[in-house]
Chains A and B, each alone.
Chain A
Amino acid sequence: MNEMDNKWIGKNTIRPDGADKVTGRAEYAADTIMPGMIWGKVLRSPHPHATIKSINTKKAEELDGVFSVATSADCVDFPVDTPVILGIQDIRWMARNVLAKEKVLFHGHPIAAVAARTEEIAEKACELIEVEYDIHPWAIEIDDALKPDAPILHDFIKFDGKPSNIAGTLEHKKGDIEEGFKEADIIIEREFETAAVHQGYLETHACLVSVSPDDRTIIWSSSQGQFMVRAMTSFITGIPQSSIRAIPAEIGGGFGGKTIVYLEPVATILSKKSGRPVKMVMTREEVMRASGPTSGSKSKVKIGAKNNGEITAAQGTFYLQAGAFPGAPIRGAAGCCLAPYDIPNAHTLGYDVVSNRSKVAAYRAPGAPIGAYAVECVLDEVAEALKMCPLEFRLKNAAKEGTKAVHGPTYPVMGYVETLEACLSHPHYKAPLKKLQGRGYASGFWFNAGGESSAQVNITEDGNVVVTTGHPDIGGSRASIANITAELLGIDVNRVSVLIGDTATIGFSNLTGGSRVLFASALVVTESTNQVIDILKDRASKIWNIEKEAIEWENGEARPAGDNAGKFKPLSLVELAEQATPTGGPIGAGHQVNTVGAEGGFATHICDVEVDIELGIARVIRYTAAQDVGKAIHPAYVEGQLQGGVVQGIGWALNEEYIYNKEGKLDNPGFLDYRIPVCSDLPMIDTILVEVPNPQHPQGVRGVGEVPIVPPLSAIANAIYNAIGTRFYSLPMSPPKVLEKISD
């Protein structure tokens, strides 16, 4: 396909789900109701760490208006010594996170749940549940969890042969690290800390579940994967997947935080026991206390370089909080942190540390911002010591096609260098700065993912198109799929309707996550659409009584080609659809495959800040994000991914943090005290879409959603240093911290 001729790919079409979303018609999980519906509420642990000695639900069950009560005794038992792996999750931990079993491991950990006529009655019944605890000391911060006498969360986790809160490690090695540092003329080593931050999706977790007496189950919920909901609910409740129909509601933000279940198995048990549909909606406080967040961290990074700017060695050690159960995103920290660079000798090591916090969930490029923050801040110091421009320094060491990455792969075609060059030639790079203003730079990487996807493309009887895929749309993927389908079929984009199927209406499709959705779904939609075009040619061949091979599909119609050119009047999609029945029946095709070839994404950001030294407020006043996006199918929504990711990074850098009190409880479980960026905090976020097409994809798509949150943490830290000459090694760089450091 000649790109210049594209009618829809690369165009900012109106999103198919847009009208519903601007009128309030879009149905999110909490917007659904069913006849006879009752309400479920969760009883949560008042302690950060305790053994559950007994749970007595009798009084709750006897309260007027209560229909059913659930505890872990109603769940399938998964012994702690046998892993049950589903994707990147272990169902042993998932089950115990959904309803605590032997122990409560964080304040807010679910213990039991009640379904009742109203939410008020369900809440009152929760208070009547009697739980006997054996309270233990707790560990919240990484240092506390790693002390020799630290309270141990899980007796069966051993490290170096001893019970430990270190649940695992991950390591990457390349070359000879000691030799590398010997070659260096300058070596800089620094230690860093970041606070745990929440994904901050605005829609709280919610679901509505109805279970019939024969266990047939319908789940409406907001998640990043209806098939994930089906599988996890099946594991935990014992109801087979074939009996569960999980329907994806519109999702009000996820950012990784909705890649696991919290409520669905609980509501399923409550509905099964009561015979009534059960609705559950978390409050914001419950979301903050018991879902997400991503890890807080401690890290140490050492980088050596020659006077000519060549990096000779790099070493990084990263401790990441997992929360109550193993599973911190150490792969993202240790794997992504050096990925933009060609470094001969390197070693990265990540530690997965459990402590008495809510279990972490994925958050946009999980772990990668933490690793990049430390590395990119040290690189800024190395560049300064070498008296080199930070961008030129990165350019000198940039990974290219053929570079062997520290985390393993040898890179194919990729556009990191292009993002650096785009920044160097952008007006922002040379724009003047005033007093107390500073400029910072940073780069970032995310793996991107492929995985399982299914699609079905059907031609309607009136000659229009319905595309069904299996991935919840969190960033505008339906708009992009409409663009691609319209382009391939040569018809107006408004004739294409794109829907998200439920688990009963479309084949297995893996989670919306890892920046995989458009990469993977475009592959299966393209294949399905090409099959449909083949069928359409076949139908035309029957009508004209000529060979199918002598027909071409162009501009939405079948045309006789070659020797037959001009012999017959072209047949449009509408005309072929009208004759579908006599020519062979319904026209449609589906494709399902495990997609491969998702190549990594790189970005470079420029950030200007202005520091108010009286109030300690660092304010981002200009921001430019350059990213290799492969091919922007819908540029406005690609820009939207970059802008949204950058602003989440700004929140992480400047304000957001989980603050625990002396009792081991989260002290700021709401948007008043957990401050995400608001409109008046920000400037416009400029974007540069660098397009180095992914050769392994029919449209050249690379994932774009995660990379933009990787560079901001360090870009902002480096900008603050440039503004006031003070380096910060701890996030967030919130006003109290900035003031304290300035006054030192």
Chain B
Amino acid sequence: MAKIQVKTKINGEETEFLCQPYDTVLDVLRRDLNMTGTKEVCSTGDCGACSITMDGRLVCSCLVLAAETEDKNIETIEGMAKNGNFNVLQKTFLEHAALQCGICTPGMLVAAKSLLEKNTNPTETEIRYWLAGNLCRCTGYDKIVKAVQAAAEEIRENA
């Protein structure tokens, strides 16, 4: 089968790759571009570990075909820290011990960032429902919710 040539932007960088028609964005990120920060956990859209944003919209990269990213803006965990500085969520996750094994963390951070871009003052319930698609088996979510609340507060204070 002839491969498809795709031109896209990943974390602000022009990127070109070849993919099979059935390859997902997750396949290409991890296998072909060696961007393994985005995690593969279920491959069926049930866990959120492979969360990325495409043109600002939060998606599971295992459910988007790689060929669909033509001319799109992709943001992954690798683009979250800017110029060697943590994003506020990365900082509050560390400060609040909001990770244990860390395999859900990239997806959780990408999803939480997407929430705070829309709403800098979410209630606990809003945070819990926004993150309901991101599974974590280690933490019981308590410290994750608190880290998101702390990041939101910091964003509001600096607004």
Contacts and interface: CB of A to CB of B under 8 A. Distances in A.
Partners in one complex: yes
Contact of A252 (B80, B94, B101, B141): B101
Contact of A24 (B43, B99, B106, B133): B106
A253 B133 CA distance: 18
Summarize B's interface: helix, strand, loop or mixed. Answer: loop
- Central interface residue in A202, A634, A677, by most chain B CB within 10 Å: A202
Contacts of B146: 684
Given A18-B99, A24-B37, A250-B102, A646 B140 contact: yes
A201 B94 contact: no
B34 A23 contact: no
A640 B78 contact: no
Contact of B139 (A21, A27, A201, A643): A643
Interface stretch (B2-10, B44-52, B63-71): B44-52
Contacts of A203: 39, 41, 101, 103
A204 B90 CA distance: 24
A672 B86 CA distance: 33
A25 B42 contact: no
A640 B94 CA distance: 13
Contacts of A677: 140-141
Contact of A251 (B37, B43, B101): B101
B38 interface: yes
A27 B39 CA distance: 11
Nearest to A475: B100
- Central interface residue in B97, B104, B109, by most chain A CB within 10 Å: B97
Nearest to A479: B97
Given A14-B95, A678-B132, A678-B135, A684 B37 contact: no
B38 A474 contact: no
A679 B128 contact: yes
A679 B80 contact: no
Nearest to B49: A202
A24 B42 contact: no
Interface string A674-705: 00111111101100000000000000000000
B138 A640 contact: yes
A643 B143 contact: yes
A255 B137 contact: yes
A676 B135 contact: yes
Contacts of B30: 30-31
Interface in B48-91: 49, 76-78, 80-81, 86, 90
A202 B143 contact: no
Contacts of A4: none
A47 interface: no
Q: Which 6 A-B pairs have the closest CB atoms?
A: A24-B37, A252-B103, A21-B102, A647-B140, A643-B140, A636-B97
Given A22-B93, A23-B78, A643-B142, A253 B137 contact: yes
B159 to A, nearest CB: 23
A22 to B, nearest CB: 4
Contact of A679 (B76, B93, B106, B134): B134
Nearest to B125: A680
B34 A671 contact: no
B139 A644 contact: yes
Contacts of B76: 24
A154 interface: no
B99 A685 contact: no
A307 interface: no
Contacts of A234: none
- Central interface residue in A18, A21, A647, by most chain B CB within 10 Å: A21
B19 interface: no
A25 B101 contact: no
Contacts of A639: 97, 142-143
A17 interface: yes
B135 A671 contact: yes
Contacts of B106: 22, 24
B40 A19 contact: no
B114 interface: no
Nearest to B124: A684
A19 B94 contact: yes
Contacts of A151: none
B131 interface: yes
Contacts of A682: 128, 140-142
A28 B41 CA distance: 12
Contacts of A44: none
B134 A475 contact: no
Given A23-B90, A284-B44, A678-B133, 16 more contacts: A12-B97, A21-B99, A22-B94, A23-B86, A24-B36, A24-B78, A28-B103, A30-B36, A199-B137, A202-B104, A252-B103, A253-B137, A640-B97, A640-B138, A643-B139, A677-B140
B27 to A, nearest CB: 10
Contacts of A514: none
B100 A474 contact: yes
A294 interface: no
A33 interface: yes
B105 interface: yes
A15 B49 CA distance: 21
Nearest to A672: B46
Contacts of B96: 636
A202 B103 contact: yes
Contacts of A202: 39, 41, 47, 49, 101, 103-104, 135-137
B40 to A, nearest CB: 7
A648 interface: yes
Contacts of A54: none
B152 interface: no
A319 to B, nearest CB: 27
B144 interface: yes
A679 B43 contact: no
B100 A476 contact: yes
A200 B135 CA distance: 10
Interface in A191-214: 199-204
A252 B46 CA distance: 17
Contacts of B34: 33
A18 B145 CA distance: 17
A648 to B, nearest CB: 7
Interface string B108-138: 0100000000000000110111011111111
A26 interface: yes
A284 B43 contact: yes
B97 A476 contact: yes
Given A200-B137, A284-B43, A679 B131 contact: yes
B80 A23 contact: yes
Contacts of B95: 14
A117 B143 CA distance: 43
A670 B44 CA distance: 8
Contacts of A199: 137
Contacts of B97: 12, 15, 476, 634, 636-637, 639-640
Contacts of A685: 140, 142
Contacts of A19: 86, 94
A283 interface: yes
B101 A474 contact: yes
Contacts of B94: 14-15, 18-19, 22
Contact of A640 (B43, B47, B139): B139
A681 B36 CA distance: 30
Interface in A270-307: 281, 283-284
